[in-house]
Homo-oligomer: A and B are copies of this chain.
Amino acid sequence: MKLICSKSNLLSGVQIVSKAVPNKTTMSILECILIDATGRNIKLIANDMELGIETIIEGDIVEKGQIALDAKIFLDIVRKLPDNQVVLETDKSFKTNIVCEKAKFTIIGKSGEDFSYLPSIEKIDHIIISQFTLKEVVRQTIFSISDNDNNKLMTGELFDINGDTLKVVSLDGHRISIRKIGLKNSYPSKKVVVPGKTLNEISKILSGDADKDVSIFFTGKHIVFEFDKTTVVSRLIEGEYFRIDQMLSSDYETKVTIHKREFLECIDRATLLVKEGDKKPIIINITDGVLELKINSTIGSMNEEIDITKQGKDLMIGFNPKFMIDALRVIDDELIDVYLVNPKAPCFIKDATENYIYLILPVNFTTVN
């Protein structure tokens, strides 16, 4: 095989597919990137059996062929090459020369025949959204998946398509994040659970460009994302997702309208007094026009008052500050509405049209002072 391409094209391609290379594996072929120049295009492929990424890079195929190269070493080498044309040439013993200007690297690759290609997926059902929207919706929900494998479904996100709406849901037993996205077209109903890891990796690859689209295809077992010259194939998590509708109630006893940034900075300050691993709650006391936030720990104490607009009853309630911070960080509104019932019932942060809903369970607290 002999290829010529620019360093920058090669680098961006290798960076993209490297996202599907596992950090640790016993199968050394999975640590490789396949460079496939057997057809018309130069394809780079990586595949950890759950998640596979393929991308096409521009360049000239002087001699057809394929080679599997250790992803980490190959990425390191390409990254440090001079910014010029790169010639990549292999021989029958898989010796690979990488030449750029006067620099010449030689590494030993593996036969491409041992490599497991991406599963071929029948592309029928699909939706189209912008790269920006997909990247945003993942950022706005991914924090509330569970990293505990005990309940596999909690490690993924529900993608629920219904007519012209895509609803993305994540939950970890303490909180639920829901985002609704309007689609340009109407699609048949479909519910799939996408692994959190896949969404995290795809977020890193997406340009976040609002003018560029992603096509998302679904099959029974896989989801495929196509954008730019890249295809990402991931297994789905099997099983029926949690019924969240019954957890969402629109009844409330107290409604608070508060400046998001003030509230966030105030909670952020309070967490200074919480040592890592310590599960100290913040205590929020809601009265007419004022929300008072209190925390007491072995380090010291803090209290602060924030002006609010309140409807309904006074209330004192405790929260894990991290859960509040996570939700507040991904809300763009300047003023937000918080709906509460009592110190034992979940609180809701949502906008009027329910384009976002963040449900957070309160924690018990013992009143001190």
Contact = CB atoms under 8 A, between A and B. Distances in A.
A40 interface: no
A108 B303 CA distance: 15
**Copies per assembly:** 2
Contact of A82 (B76, B81, B265, B301): B265
A83 to B, nearest CB: 11
Interface stretch (A2-10, A98-106, A121-129): A98-106
Interface stretch (A12-20, A227-235, A266-274, A318-326): A266-274
A248 interface: no
Interface string A231-275: 000000000000000000000000000000000011011001100
A246 B46 CA distance: 57
Contacts of A304: 102-104
Interface residues of A, number: 27
Interface in A283-311: 299-306
A136 to B, nearest CB: 27
Contacts of A272: 73, 76-77, 80, 105
15 contacts: A73-B272, A73-B299, A73-B300, A76-B272, A77-B272, A102-B305, A102-B306, A103-B302, A104-B302, A104-B304, A105-B273, A105-B300, A105-B302, A106-B301, A107-B300
Shortest 5 CB-CB distances between A and B: which pairs?
A107-B300, A103-B304, A80-B269, A106-B301, A76-B272
